[in-house]
Amino acid sequence: MRLTRFLPALLCAALTACGAPPPLSGLAPTLSAPSAESAELVTKFITNKLGASWGLAFLPGGDILVTQTGGGISRVSPDGAITKISGGPVPYTEGQAGQFDIILSPKFETDKTIFISYAAGKDAANSTAIFKAVLSGNALTDGETIVITTSKDTPQHFGGRMAFLPDGSLLLSTGDGFKYREHAQRLDTHLGKILRITRSGKAAGGNPFAGTPEAAHEIFTLGHRNVQGLAVDSKTGDIWSHEHGPKGGDELNLITPGRNYGWPIATYGVDYSGARITPYDRYGSMTDAIHNWTPSIAPSGMTVYRGDLFEGMDGDILVGALKFKQVHRLHMKDGRVEKETLWLSDLGQRIRDVQTGPDGAVYVLTDGGSLLRVTPKT
């Protein structure tokens, strides 16, 4: 059932709870137009034969696992050889649905366990799910779906990024289902949330709404539209995410347990028709974005760079962009974006994932199936 008719009531309740700031504050962070720094980089294509792809993970020994959007997993060697991995989930593939992220267990060296997010179900009822399995050679064994989130009847806005926290719990992002944006403000649904779970798929202990009646105990944060970037800073433990806005209003957020990130009550974007979604770009105790992009860049994967291979980049955030086909480097200082520069603007391919490799290089996966290794020019 759609809840569009309930939005005024939800909005009124949220505004009452949060106070009454002025509408359309116009206080969005502003920076000078980003400039390209591609001339300072060396880009090596590992392969361009993966097909439509979504996420990547590094195996010990140098191989890389890549998820194909339509289903299937590839193992890519440093010299570009591709081996198919059998035994993965079978995703629902209508619209934006498909197979999403892949992540290794923090204890992979001993347990050989991997986690894959994907769209499960069918047109009438589909959701973001997590598949857990053991990697044995080039096959996944003992596979099981450990999480199936709240279902919907739309093939859009699944989220699907994952990240492990230092305590071993697992974060999973979801989307609002496109038609169900009001659910992002509800605690009885997983839509429009970041969830925190155990390795077995249960709600992790200490989640902020575990004691709230009728709340889904897996909820870590709420008020998200479609989170497709999620990264934990390996040095500080800070959790960063980004999400797609509507027409404008893509956001970079610093994630804190229990916080409400505003969607759809507060946004810098407007609806695709040009109509206003809300009179507010920020609101009361709702957490405002650290940075936003208007017009939208359609952000994808992201990484917090930690390493010394790139001089002066330790702690900066790299964000892939599907719309403008480039990587955005966010120069960070004291938790804020000080400057923004562009990588790979001349590549001409939609960027799907960006990850820091064990060797300190940056690995970039394109929507069309190219895998690249990026290093600084010496």
Which residues are marked as active site?
157
Nearest Cα to Cα of residue 258 among 239, 245, 244, 243: 239
Residue 43 backbone phi and psi in degrees, to 5: -115, 125
**Structure tokens that stand for 140 in this block:** 């996944």
Q: Which residues, at least 6 apart from 146, have a Cβ–Cβ distance to it below 8 Å?
A: 130, 131, 132, 199, 200, 201
**Structure tokens that stand for 124 in this block:** 């009438």
Cα separation, 270 vs 249, whole angstroms: 8
For tokens 């609101």, what's the residue? 283
Cα separation, 318 vs 343, whole angstroms: 9
Residue 38 backbone phi and psi in degrees, to 5: -60, -25
DSSP 3-state of 18:
helix
CB atoms within 10 A of CB 206: 10
